Each structure stands twice: as C-alpha cells, then as structure tokens.
C-alpha cells in the first residue's frame, strides 16, 4: 500500500510503476513477484478490508509527509540561492540514504529469518531421516511398505533438496558404506519425503490385487441378480399363505414384462438367467485358454507349476554355506563327457571366429544418464525402492568406490548396475 500511495503522489499510478517502486524497496524478496500479482494483492487487501481505514490513512499520511512539496512563492528563491540549493541537496541525499538504509535493514532481516528457517527445517529433516533409517535397517526388504506416488511440485523439490543434503552429510561421515546400506539410505529418504509431502501415515498393505471385472460383465451379473430376485418373488406368490406385499410385488413384475401367466414368466426369467450365465462362462473359459497359451509360450516352467498347483515362493534367500554345499555336491559328482560328439564339434566350428568382448569402463556420467532416463517415483523392485534420480551424492559415492583392480573392479560394477537397474529401473 505504501508503494501505491508513493506512485499516487508522483502521478504515476500504474501497475508497472507501482511494481518498480516495490522492487526498489525489496530487491531480494519474492523474486517471482510480478506487477499483476502485486496489483491483485493490493485489491485483495482493500476489498477484503485486511487493513482498517485508520491504518490506511496513517500509511497515506506518512507517504505524503515524506513527499511534501515546498510553497510555490519560495521556489524561485530556492533555485537562485546557491546556499539553499546546497542545503536542499544535502537534505535530499540524507533522506535518500536513510531510505535505502531502511530497505537494506529490512532485506537483511528477511534474509536472516529465511536462513534460520532453513536451518530449522534441515535439522528436523535430519531427525526424521535418522529415525526412519533405524526403522528401515531393522526390517527385511519384504516387510517394506509400498510408497504412494507423489506429484511433481515446488514443495516436493524443496523436500528432496533437504533430504539430499542430509544423505550427503551421512555419507561424508560414513565413507565405508556397502550397497545394502546405500539401499537403506535411499528408502529412508523416500519415506521421509513422502510422509512430509503427503502428511499421511504409511502402513503396510497387502499385495493382493483386486480382481478387475469388465463393465459389461458387471452389468450382466447385476441383471442376473435382479432376475433371480424376481424368480424368488414369483415362487413365494404361488404359496398358500402369502402376504399382500408379496402379491403386489409379483403383480408389478408381471406388469413390467406384460406377461400375466406366472408359469410362463417364471420359465422366461430362468432361460434368461441360464443364457447370460453361459455367456460369462464362455468368456472365462476363453480368457483362461488365452492366458495359459501365453504363459506356455513365455515361461513353460511356470505353466507346468500352475497346472500342478505348485506356487514356489522363496521366503528367505539361502545362506552362503548352503549355496556352497549345494554347488559342491553338484560339481563333485563324476560324470563322463563324450568330447567327440558331433554336436560339440559343430558348436566349436560355429563359434571359432567369434571375438571376445572388449573391456570398457562405466563412468559416473554413464550411470547418471541411465538413471535419469528412467521414470521417477516408481517401485518396480521387490525392495520397494523409488527411482530418486535427484540424489547426486549416491552417484558420487559409486564414482569414488569404482577404483578397484581385477575381478573386484568388475564385481563392483556388476553390483552397482544390479542395484540401480533392479532397484530403480522401469
């Protein structure tokens, strides 16, 4: 309002001029502010009576006092008197200095408040992150909750920036982290950001998918239920002891179909029920046949397991000792191999001129490009990890850890690629 009254005193009362005055007074406050938005805020204040008439009058009086002009009869004398002119310049300069000094103090105060607020937000974010990290480390991957999808917004970006700073600080304090620990860090960060953005409690939900029934099938099922209800009413109406309410319902059913013979109407309704039921059964049979054929072409093992009703689920992965014993027993059994078999000679001739794969190094830029091309906020893996491609500290960490030699170097890259393309992939 002060800027508006200043423009009114100077007879330049337009949106652009008012905005220029406001921007000179507040150079670093709200950089996205426009002249239209500022004008809308002024109209909102005046229309909604956010300031009383006395407050507006005080603001206007103070602005007019600052820009009060001298009388016209002294104007010529002031212009021709060099001492008065110099005094006027000194007063004007002092006034401008005080004006700018007040604005600078106001901007500094606002900047300090913003910095203190950011520090408080980051400290709160760090406490919540450590709490979630302790919870995540004490549960297995299967027990993790599935995080809901969140929409892109400036508020979400600010949360991700704060979380990225917390993760960076945690990695700097713990340089010797393994891939499992990194997985915990990313999931804990996703939990914190989602909870703060959604402001809802995230609980473990069942992974059982709802059976999606086609709309046409749902309509037919509703018709069948209605016809069965009508058949039941017609059956009750033929009994010796029946109420007037049931008789009236039976009369309305007969009138609806324009068939007043109960036996004939009952037979027609039963035929309709049978016909539409057979239609649904034919659809289910055709759908099941199509699904089995597709499964047989894609995965024969899964198809035969489905026929035998054997759903093999691995609750816990085997330990290192169990895996070593299994493969030791498998490879320790002696077997006779016919090295002179025809098929072995043919395969040897086939791949005789095949060259080996060239060695190449996966750089940090290649990893960043692969991650950023995937979709955001997806959890395709069984560990429910989100694709947070805006955590550059994770990339830097893997870049530092990749300098290894020999098989360890290749193994490290294999694990890194598995982690990112399995945990973060589409």
Query: What pLDDT is recorded for position 221?
Result: 93
Predicted confidence band at 293 (pLDDT cuts at 50, 70, 90)? very high
Query: What pLDDT is recorded for position 410?
Result: 38
How far CA 187 is from CA of 3, 24, 157, 172, 202, in Å, comes to 49, 45, 17, 18, 13
In the predicted model, what is the mean pLDDT of residues 57-74? 65
Closest CA to 57 of 48, 68, 46: 46
Query: What pLDDT is recorded for position 241?
Result: 85
Does 372 or 83 have the greater pLDDT score? Answer: 372
Query: What pLDDT is recorded for position 257?
Result: 92
Predicted confidence band at 195 (pLDDT cuts at 50, 70, 90)? confident
* Token pair listed for 370: 């692969």
89-103, 275-289, 333-347, range with the lowest pLDDT: 89-103
Q: Domain residue spans in the chain?
A: 2-68, 116-198, 216-307
Query: What pLDDT is recorded for position 394?
Result: 61
Give dist(CA 71, CA 68) in Å, integer: 10
Site of tokens 């400290």:
123
Predicted confidence band at 289 (pLDDT cuts at 50, 70, 90)? very high
Predicted confidence band at 122 (pLDDT cuts at 50, 70, 90)? confident
Give dist(CA 274, CA 307) in Å, integer: 29
> Is the predicted pLDDT of residue 242 greater than 70, yes or no?
yes
* Token pair listed for 127: 């406490």
Give dist(CA 145, CA 384) in Å, integer: 7
Reported pTM: 0.41
Query: What pLDDT is recorded for position 251?
Result: 92
> Is the predicted pLDDT of residue 20 greater than 60, yes or no?
yes
- Are 70 and 87 in contact by the 8 Å Cβ rule? The answer is no
Predicted confidence band at 380 (pLDDT cuts at 50, 70, 90)? low
Q: What is the Rg, in whole angstroms, of the alpha carbon atoms belonging to the chain?
A: 39
Predicted confidence band at 422 (pLDDT cuts at 50, 70, 90)? very low
Does 76 or 248 have the greater pLDDT score? Answer: 248
> Is the predicted pLDDT of residue 423 greater than 50, yes or no?
no
Crossing angle between the packed helical segments 262-298 and 215-237, to the nearest 10 degrees: 150
> What's the whole-number average pLDDT of the chain?
74
**Cβ-based neighbours of 213, under 8 Å, separated by 6 or more:** 221
In the predicted model, what is the mean pLDDT of residues 82-93? 42
Give dist(CA 361, CA 355) in Å, integer: 19
> Is the predicted pLDDT of residue 328 greater than 50, yes or no?
yes
Does 91 or 16 have the greater pLDDT score? Answer: 16
> Is the predicted pLDDT of residue 139 greater than 90, yes or no?
no
Predicted confidence band at 389 (pLDDT cuts at 50, 70, 90)? low
Predicted confidence band at 101 (pLDDT cuts at 50, 70, 90)? very low
- Are 64 and 9 in contact by the 8 Å Cβ rule? The answer is yes
Query: What pLDDT is recorded for position 393?
Result: 57
Query: What pLDDT is recorded for position 206?
Result: 53
- Are 204 and 145 in contact by the 8 Å Cβ rule? The answer is yes
In the predicted model, what is the mean pLDDT of residues 349-377? 75
Q: 3-state SS of the chain?
A: CHHHHHHHHCCCCCHHHHHHHHHHHCCCCCCCCCHHHHHHHHHHHHHCCCCCHHHHHHHHHHHHHHCCCCCHHHHHHHHHCHHHHHHHHHHHHHHHHHHHHHHHHHHHHHHHHHHHHHHHHHHHHHHHHHHHHHHHHCCCHHHCCCCCCCCCCHHHHHHHHHHHHHHHHHHHHCCCCCHHHHHHHHHHHHHHHHHHHHCCCCCCCCCCCCCCCCHHHHHHHHHHHHHHHHHHHHHHHCCCCCCHHHHHHHHHHHHHHCCCCHHHHHHHHHHHHHHHHHHHHHHHHHHHHHHHHHHHHHCHHHHHHHHCCCCCCCCCCCCHHHHHHHHHHHHHCCCCCCCCCHHHHHHHHHCCCCCCCCCCCCCHHHHHHHHHCCCCCCCCCCCCCCCCCCCHHHHHHHHHHCCCCHHHHHHHHHHHHHHHHHHCCC
Predicted confidence band at 81 (pLDDT cuts at 50, 70, 90)? very low
Q: What percent of the chain has pLDDT over 90?
A: 17
* Token pair listed for 405: 């030699």
Give dist(CA 264, CA 281) in Å, integer: 26
Predicted confidence band at 338 (pLDDT cuts at 50, 70, 90)? confident
Query: What pLDDT is recorded for position 309?
Result: 72
Query: What pLDDT is recorded for position 88?
Result: 42
- Are 365 and 135 in contact by the 8 Å Cβ rule? The answer is no
């Amino acid at each position: 309002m002060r800027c508006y009254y200043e423009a009114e005193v100077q007879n330049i009362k337009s949106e652009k001029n008012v905005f220029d005055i406001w921007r000179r007074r507040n150079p670093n406050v709200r950089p996205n502010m426009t002249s239209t938005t500022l004008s809308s805020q002024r109209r909102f204040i005046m229309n909604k009576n956010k300031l009383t008439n006395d407050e507006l009058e005080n603001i206007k009086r103070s602005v007019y006092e600052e820009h009060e002009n001298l009388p016209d009869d002294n104007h010529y004398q002031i212009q021709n008197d060099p001492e008065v002119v110099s005094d006027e310049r000194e007063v004007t300069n002092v006034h401008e200095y005080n004006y700018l000094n007040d604005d600078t103090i106001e901007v500094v105060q606002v900047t300090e408040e913003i910095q203190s607020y950011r520090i408080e937000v980051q400290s709160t974010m760090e406490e919540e992150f450590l709490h979630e990290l302790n919870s995540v480390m004490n549960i297995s991957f299967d027990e993790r909750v599935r995080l809901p999808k969140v929409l892109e917004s400036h508020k979400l970006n600010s949360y991700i920036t704060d979380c990225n700073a917390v993760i960076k600080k945690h990695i700097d304090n713990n340089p010797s982290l393994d891939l499992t620990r990194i997985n915990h860090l990313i999931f804990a960060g996703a939990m914190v950001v989602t909870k703060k953005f959604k402001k809802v409690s995230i609980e473990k939900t069942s992974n059982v998918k709802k059976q999606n029934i086609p709309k046409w099938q749902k309509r037919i099922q509703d018709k069948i239920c209605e016809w069965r209800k009508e058949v039941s009413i017609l059956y009750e109406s033929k009994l010796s002891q029946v109420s007037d309410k049931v008789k009236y319902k039976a009369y309305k059913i007969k009138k609806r179909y324009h068939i007043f013979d109960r036996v004939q109407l009952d037979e027609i309704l039963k035929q309709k029920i049978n016909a539409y039921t057979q239609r649904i059964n034919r659809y289910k049979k055709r759908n099941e046949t199509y699904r089995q054929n597709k499964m047989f072409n894609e995965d024969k093992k899964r198809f035969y397991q489905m026929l035998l009703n054997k759903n093999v689920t691995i609750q816990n992965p085997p330990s290192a000792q169990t895996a070593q014993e299994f493969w030791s027993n498998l490879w320790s059994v002696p077997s006779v191999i016919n090295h002179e078999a025809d098929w072995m000679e043919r395969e040897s001739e086939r791949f005789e001129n095949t060259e080996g794969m060239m060695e190449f190094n996966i750089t940090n830029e290649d990893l960043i490009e692969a991650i950023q091309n995937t979709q955001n906020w997806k959890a395709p893996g069984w560990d429910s990890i989100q694709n947070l491609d805006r955590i550059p500290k994770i990339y830097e960490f893997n870049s530092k850890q990749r300098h290894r030699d020999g098989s360890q170097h290749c193994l490290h890259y294999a694990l890194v690629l598995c982690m990112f393309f399995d945990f973060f992939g589409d």
